[in-house]
Amino acid sequence: MRADPSGTYPASAGILFGLGLGGFFDGIVLHQLLQWHHMLSSWYPPTTLENLRLNTLWDGIFHSATYIFVILAVYRLWQAARRGQVFWSGKLIWGTGFIGWGAFNLVEGLIDHHLLGIHHVNELVGTGARQVWDVAFLVWGAAMLIAGSWLWRWGARDHQAKAVLLR
C-alpha cells in the first residue's frame, strides 16, 4: 500500500506491537530458550517441581498479556486502515515499535528486576554479575526508546513534507 499523505498513522498500534514483541522476546528467549530466569524465579527458585510449575504458570500468564498487546495492535491498525486514510510509513511503524519495546524493557526491568526483585535477567551468573545484566537490560531499553523516538520524528517530518506538497 502507498502512503496517504493526507492520512494519519495510528501510533498506538506500533507502540502496542512493540510492547508485545518485547514481552515475547523476553519470555521466549530469556525464559524458554536460554532458561536464564522465569517469572518468579528469584522468589521461587525452580529447584523443585512445585516451584517450576508455579513459575511456568506465571510465565504463561505473562505470555498471555503480551499476546493481548499484539492482538490490540493488530486491531488498532486494522481499525485505522478500514478508514482508508492511513499514512503507511516504515519509519513510523519501526519507530513506534521500538518505543513500545523500549518502554517494555524499562518498565519490566525497573519493576521486576530492581523494585520487586522477582527475577533477574540472568540468574545463572553470580549474584554480583546479575546487577550488570539487569542494568544492561535497562540500557538496551533506553537505547530502543531513543532510536524509536528518533525514527518516529523522522517519519513524522516525512509525513508533514508530503502533506505540504499536496496542498
Backbone Cα Rg of the chain: 19
pLDDT value of residue 85 = 72
27-36, 85-94, 109-118, range with the lowest pLDDT: 85-94
Q: Report yes or no on 6 lying in a domain.
A: no
What does the pLDDT read at residue 160? Answer: 79
Model pTM greater than 0.85? yes
Quickly state the pLDDT bin for 5 (edges 50, 70, 90): low
The whole domain housing 139 covers 11-166
In a domain, 115, yes or no: yes
pLDDT in tens, 76-86: 999 988 888 77
**Helices and strands counted in the chain (H then E):** 4, 0
112-129 per-position pLDDT tens digit = 999 999 999 999 999 999
* Residue 114 identity: H
Strands (E), 20-63: none
Residues contacting 144, CB < 8 A, separation 6+: 98, 99, 101, 102, 105
CA distance 39 to 31: 8
- Residue 76 is assigned to a structural domain of this protein: yes
**Residue 123's closest CA among 51, 70, 74, 71?**
51
Taking residues 82-102, report their average pLDDT: 90
In a domain, 156, yes or no: yes
Q: Is residue 29 part of a domain?
A: yes
Q: Write down the pLDDT at residue 70.
A: 98
Contact 72, 16 (CB under 8 A): yes
**Number of domains comprising the chain:** 1
16 domain residue, yes or no: yes
- Specify if 132 maps to a domain: yes
DSSP designation for 85: -
**Would you say residue 109 lies in a domain?**
yes
